[in-house]
Every structure is written in structure tokens, then in C-alpha cells.
Amino acid sequence: MTLTRLQKIALGIAGVSALGIGTAITITPHAFYESYGIALGSDPSLLSELRAPGAGLAALGAVMLAGVVRRALSGVALVAAFVVFLGFPAGRLVGLALDGIPSTGILAALGFELAVAALCLFAFRPDIGRAGSRLALR
């Protein structure tokens, strides 16, 4: 799959975001969650439960970035971007419905995730390849 410039930018933003956030959760969960007003404490089980998906998020971010530079990985990178940036907002929206309104930091994260999802959806809309080929013929 050959990526357009917009698609590379979308995957780059998604990848850097997921890698950075995932790494922060994995390495410094106390500081990361404190920025949302969440005090974690020192329970090793809780910290392990936070670090594990943080590492998964970082790995998905690395896959997204790899897809920008390796054509063979671009399809997998796109799937990773959609899993992360559609999955996280979906979970937050369920939380809003079931638990109520979270902190402004969490709401800001939701807004950012939706923005990245919208960028990816726009960049990878089904007609982009056909539109590009029509422009190339003119």
C-alpha cells in the first residue's frame, strides 16, 4: 500500500501520540495519571494493570510509525491506528454514559483521540485513491 503525504502525516501523528502516551504510562504511570488528577498509590497489582496496556499502546504506536517508512507495514499500521483511535474514544464514551463526566483532562484526551480518529478517517477515506488517480490523469 503506497501512502499519500496526508496518510503519512495522519499515521505519523497517531504513531507519535500512541508511542509517547504508552511510554509515559509504562515508565511513569504516577506522573502520567497525576496530570489527570488521579492518585495511583503504590499497589503493585494496579501499577502492573496500567503498565501492561501502556506498553501495548506504545507498541501499537511503533507499528504506526513503522508503517510510515515501510510500505509493507502500512496496512497493519492503519489497522493499529483505527484500533487505538476508535477504541479509546469508544471506551471513554461508555464511561461517560455509565459513570458520568470525568475530569477536564480526560475530556481533553477524548477530544484529542476523536480528532486523530477523524484525521485518519479523512486521510484513509475509500475514495482517496481514485481521486488521486483522476488528478494524475489531468
Which tops the pLDDT comparison, 99 or 138? Answer: 99
Q: pLDDT category, 138, cuts 50, 70, 90?
A: very low
Name the residue among 63, 85, 82, 84 with its Cα closest to residue 74: 63
The span from the CA of 112 to the CA of 87, in Å, is 13
Q: Crossing angle for the helix pair 44-69 and 74-99, nearest 10 degrees?
A: 140
Q: pLDDT tens digits, residue range 37-51?
A: 999 999 999 999 999
Q: In the chain, which ranges are continuous DSSP H helix? A: 5-27, 29-34, 44-69, 74-99, 104-123, 128-137
* Residues 77-97 pLDDT 10s: 999 999 999 999 999 999 999
What's the predicted TM-score (pTM) here? 0.88
What pLDDT was estimated at residue 83?
A: 96
- Residue 114 clears pLDDT 80, i.e. is over it: yes
pLDDT at position 132? 47
Every domain of the chain and the residues it spans: 5-125
